[in-house]
Amino acid sequence: MTEMKEIRIPKAPACWESCGNCADGELLISSVEVAVGDTLALDDTLIVVETNKTSLDIPSPYAGTVVEVLVKPGNIVKEGDVIVRIEQPVAVRCAHHDL
């Protein structure tokens, strides 16, 4: 069995809001580091985004297999936008396992 997970652009760090110079809420995707069929480990880089001042790697919060990539270089994304969908194996537990 597998479980589908949607990976979204995470909430911007508080410093982005306080200084106002790093990002205006929109991020430019400079590169996509994964493709359909890739196997991901936790924290593997999915995409690289650019703000007005820096480039940032967006890591995967899950391990699994990429089933859909919803963005491409040059796209503008915002907090909460879905960027990748992955499948994760669902662990099957036996009833006697917890005894």
pLDDT in tens, 38-77: 999 999 999 999 987 788 899 999 999 999 999 999 999 9
pLDDT in tens, 23-48: 556 789 999 999 999 999 999 999 99
Q: Which has the higher per-residue pLDDT, 76 or 93?
A: 76
27 burial type by CB count under 10 A (0-12 exposed, 13-18 middle, 19+ buried): buried
Radius of gyration of the CA atoms of the chain, in A: 16
pLDDT classification of 11: cutoffs 50, 70, 90: confident
- Is the confidence at residue 14, as pLDDT, over 70? no
For 14, phi then psi, to 5°, come to: -55, -30
